[in-house]
Structure 1
Amino acid sequence: MNILLTGATGFIGNAVLRELLRQGHQVTACCRHPERLLIDHPNLTPLKLDFAKAGAIDSWLPLLQNIDAIVNCVGIIAENNNRSFAQLQTQAPVALFEAGAQAGVKKIVQLSALGADADAESAYHLSKKAADVALQELVVDWFVLQPSLVYGHGGQSSGLFHAFAALPVHLLPDGGYQLLQPIHIDDVAATVCRCLEPAVSGRKTLALVGPSPITYADWLQGLRRRLGKPMAKTCSIPYHYAMTMAGLGKWLDEPILSKDNVAMLNRGNSADSGPLTQFLGRAPVNLNEQWFEQAASQAERWHAGLYFFKPLLLYTIAFVWLWSGITSLFFYPHQLSYQLLAPLGVNGLGAPIALYGLAAMDIAMGLATLVRFRINKLLLWQFWIVLGYSLVVALRLPEFVFHPFGPLLKNLPFLMCLLMVRAIEGEQS
């Protein structure tokens, strides 16, 4: 079949893409960054497309010539200034589905979410539900697949849950008794491909869940076991406190950690696995065999242990710059600063200009770090600035090199922090 696939670089979309190609389908893969597909296959046609700007039927009709089926895997877990639930999970998908129906596409598969139903309350679920309903009203063979938590190597949520699991104490909303029913990514991809088989008739809504539910508390303990750690202590926290703590997510640069997602967790995320078993002709993969009983790699263990340090390091870097500038301006005696500048050849009128100018630069660096202004280039500039003045001070004021408190040598770990955070930020860009 000729298939148009959206969200091909995402966790689910990429797994679906690989399975479609393995089964011999021709795939037009739509995504914002085709270079990230990392697949060289004769049946693959990458197509650069921004879903947020494809909210009209006319945006899709030219792309659907000779297309037999559409698979929509686009989804976001949190909104930002450039992407909203309404744009990516309602407007663009609805336009795509309607264009598909006009173009005579035989089948349309929509990756929705478990909970996008009559009881949906969160903006995430409501936006998915709106697209589902629009698709279900079309005269076309449609499939609405509603996965629970999807797990597997490379999953966005897996990193956060492993980081929570690595903590010595698990903070559990209302005791962590909420039910989840995680499904392996391979089962999701297999279900999508099953939908596209000619003998399989559409107009079906199907919950994608594992064989049996598990509590959130047991989910974290299972992940902790993967990391090679003993059982963690647990602490039950009231739901309203959990909601308050979730508000810290934006400060930790963690979009999954939000009030909406805590609310969705508290609602539970499980369903009967019987229909999926019947549809696939086999039971979904067992969570213990596929995940909990497979030891995490060294990279996964490092990632889990360092997960929450990344945003804290960025705030620490910002604080160092801000405090350095503020201290120079308001707390450290200016006359002593001028005495330190003199051996560097800065005297007279140049001394206050240098003092105030460098202090302003420090404060600007701190503020720019807080707002992540061109963060990769900014961190590199900070590295060269710190290295430069460290070398100058070491040459002109050698007493700071041999000072017992090591005021200059402490720049070495700061330099390493700048490079480390820059490397991590580069992975996310």
Structure 2
Amino acid sequence: MKIFLTGASGFIGHALLLALVRQGHEITAGCRHPERLLGLSAQVKPLSIDFAAMHSPEQWLAHLHGIEVIINCVGIIAESPSQRFAQVHSHAPIALFTAGVQAGVAKIIQISALGADGQAQSAYHLSKRAADEALRHLPVVGLVLQPSLVYGDRAQSMALLQALAALPVHLLPDGGKQLLQPIHVDDVAAAVCQCLNPAVNASATLHLVGPTPISYAVLLQGLRQRLGKPAALAWAVPLRYLSTAASLGKFFGEPILSKDSIAMLSRGNRADATDITALLGRPPIGIAQQLWQKPASQVERWHTQLYLIKPLLRVVIALVWLWSGITSLWFYPHSLSYELLAATGVTGNAAPLLLYGLAFLDMVLGVATLCRYRPVALMTGQLMMVAFYTVVVSVALPEFWFHPFGPLLKNLPFLMTLSIYQQLEGEGA
């Protein structure tokens, strides 16, 4: 079967791509980063597509020649300046579905989300619902699959939950009684593959969930136990307080933490498992079998600890630059600064220009770090600057290596901090 798959490099999309290859299908794998696709074979045709820019059916038609089935797996958990929910979840999929009908595609499968229904309130769910509704009204076999929380390797939302689980105190919205029904990504892929069966020939909306619901509080404790940690203290927090705190998520580089996320959690995320049981011909595999019986690997434990350290590193790095600039301008005596500059060969009118210029540059670097402006390139620049400062001062004032406060020696751990944060940011690029 010839299949057009979007979001092929994403978490769900890539798991599905591998499953489709195993079944012998021919796949046009559309995504923003085809170079990230693994397990490529002659069956897979990589295609570079920016979903946020594909808003008309005409843009899609050229890619749909001979395609029998469209599977849309594109989804974002949080918005960014270049990717908005309306663009990625609504406008582009609707244009793709319309083009599919025009191209004579027999079946369209839309990976939506549980909660994208008549009670939807979050921007995430509403944008998914818009594409779902559009597909339901087209003259084609349209299958809307609505998974609950999907977990497995590379799952971004589960990575956050594991990081929260690792904390010694669990802040539970209204006691953490909200019910979730997580489903493993392999079961999602298996369900989509079953939908390709010619016997599935009528439009439908199907819920993809795990076998039984689990409360948010129990989920966190289970994840914590899997990490090999003792039970955490549980602290019930009124929903309104956590909602306000979550609004700071973007500032800390964690856009998944938002008021919408807390609202979606408070609503719960569960459904009857009848749909997926009938589709798979078996019950979905529960999280107890998939996770609780398998201890976390060393890599998972490292990642869990670093997950929440990463935003703290950014704040600390920014503070170093900001405080350096502020101290140079207002607290440290300028006469002493000029003496240090003179030792490096900077005197006369150049001295105040360099003093004020470098102080201003330090504060700019601090603000840019807080705002996560091109973080990988920014860290590269900072590494070069600190290394350059270290070399210049080492040559002009080598006695600073033997100063009891270690003004030069402390550059070494700061260089390592910059390097570690650069690598962490690069992982998300």
Both proteins in one fold, TM over 0.5: yes
Question: Is the Cα–Cα contact under 8 Å of residues 252 and 308 in structure 1 kept in the other structure?
Answer: no
Question: Is the Cα–Cα contact under 8 Å of residues 113 and 128 in structure 1 kept in the other structure?
Answer: yes
| Aligned residue number for residue 213 of structure 1 | 213
Question: How far does the alpha carbon of each residue in 1:321-376 deviate from its partner, in whole angstroms, 9 at most, with x for none?
Answer: 11111111111111111122222222233322222222122122222323333322
Which stretch shifts more, 72-81 or 205-214? 72-81
Which stretch shifts more, 93-102 or 386-395? 386-395
Is 1:422 matched with 2:399? no
Question: Is the Cα–Cα contact under 8 Å of residues 151 and 182 in structure 1 kept in the other structure?
Answer: yes
Question: Is the Cα–Cα contact under 8 Å of residues 251 and 371 in structure 2 kept in the other structure?
Answer: no
| Aligned residue number for residue 242 of structure 1 | 242
SS in 2 for 1:63: coil
Unaligned runs of 5+ in 1: none
The separation in 2 between residues aligned to 1:43 and 1:122, in whole angstroms, is 38
The residue correspondences of 1:118-157 to structure 2 (distance < 5 A) are 118-157=118-157
The separation in 1 between residues aligned to 2:112 and 2:377, in whole angstroms, is 38
Question: Is the Cα–Cα contact under 8 Å of residues 163 and 305 in structure 1 kept in the other structure?
Answer: yes
Question: Is the Cα–Cα contact under 8 Å of residues 98 and 138 in structure 1 kept in the other structure?
Answer: yes
Identity level (%): 60
Q: Which amino acid aligns with 1:400?
A: F
Question: Is the Cα–Cα contact under 8 Å of residues 187 and 285 in structure 1 kept in the other structure?
Answer: yes
Which stretch shifts more, 317-326 or 375-384? 375-384
The separation in 1 between residues aligned to 2:158 and 2:378, in whole angstroms, is 30
Question: How far does the alpha carbon of each residue in 1:177-236 deviate from its partner, in whole angstroms, 9 at most, with x for none?
Answer: 000000000000000000001222231111000000000001111111111111111100
Is 1:259 matched with 2:259? yes
Question: Is the Cα–Cα contact under 8 Å of residues 107 and 202 in structure 1 kept in the other structure?
Answer: no
SS in 1 for 2:52: helix
SS in 2 for 1:110: strand
Q: Calculate the aligned-residue CA RMSD, in Å.
A: 1.2
TM-score by length of structure 2 reads: 0.97
The separation in 2 between residues aligned to 1:278 and 1:368, in whole angstroms, is 52
Question: How far does the alpha carbon of each residue in 1:360-407 deviate from its partner, in whole angstroms, 9 at most, with x for none?
Answer: 221222223233333222212211221222232233323321122222
Q: Which amino acid aligns with 1:101?
A: V
The separation in 2 between residues aligned to 1:87 and 1:358, in whole angstroms, is 42
* Aligned length, in residue pairs: 429
The separation in 1 between residues aligned to 2:323 and 2:312, in whole angstroms, is 16
Is 1:55 matched with 2:55? yes
The separation in 1 between residues aligned to 2:65 and 2:396, in whole angstroms, is 71
| Aligned residue number for residue 387 of structure 1 | 387
Question: Is the Cα–Cα contact under 8 Å of residues 325 and 361 in structure 1 kept in the other structure?
Answer: yes
The separation in 2 between residues aligned to 1:373 and 1:268, in whole angstroms, is 35
The residue correspondences of 1:210-359 to structure 2 (distance < 5 A) are 210-359=210-359
The separation in 1 between residues aligned to 2:249 and 2:366, in whole angstroms, is 21
Question: Is the Cα–Cα contact under 8 Å of residues 179 and 214 in structure 1 kept in the other structure?
Answer: yes
Is 1:99 matched with 2:99? yes
The separation in 1 between residues aligned to 2:395 and 2:104, in whole angstroms, is 75
Which stretch shifts more, 215-224 or 322-331? 322-331
SS in 1 for 2:78: coil
Q: Which amino acid aligns with 1:60?
A: W
Task: Report the CA distance between 1:80 and its aligned residue.
Answer: 1.5
Question: How far does the alpha carbon of each residue in 1:259-281 deviate from its partner, in whole angstroms, 9 at most, with x for none?
Answer: 00110000000011122111210
SS in 1 for 2:343: helix
Question: How far does the alpha carbon of each residue in 1:151-181 deviate from its partner, in whole angstroms, 9 at most, with x for none?
Answer: 0011111110110000000000000000000
The separation in 2 between residues aligned to 1:123 and 1:377, in whole angstroms, is 32
Is 1:196 matched with 2:193? no
The separation in 2 between residues aligned to 1:288 and 1:88, in whole angstroms, is 33
Q: Which amino acid aligns with 2:178?
A: Q
| Aligned residue number for residue 163 of structure 1 | 163
Which stretch shifts more, 125-134 or 172-181? 125-134
The separation in 2 between residues aligned to 1:63 and 1:391, in whole angstroms, is 55
Which stretch shifts more, 279-288 or 33-42? 33-42
Which stretch shifts more, 273-282 or 166-175? 273-282
Which stretch shifts more, 244-253 or 174-183? 244-253
The separation in 2 between residues aligned to 1:406 and 1:60, in whole angstroms, is 61
SS in 2 for 1:308: helix
Which stretch shifts more, 217-226 or 394-403? 394-403
The separation in 2 between residues aligned to 1:383 and 1:127, in whole angstroms, is 41
| Aligned residue number for residue 180 of structure 2 | 180
Question: Is the Cα–Cα contact under 8 Å of residues 148 and 270 in structure 1 kept in the other structure?
Answer: yes
Question: Is the Cα–Cα contact under 8 Å of residues 182 and 209 in structure 1 kept in the other structure?
Answer: yes
The separation in 2 between residues aligned to 1:103 and 1:399, in whole angstroms, is 75
Classify 1:102/1:350 alpha carbon distance in 2 versus 1 (closer, same or farther; 3 Å). Answer: closer
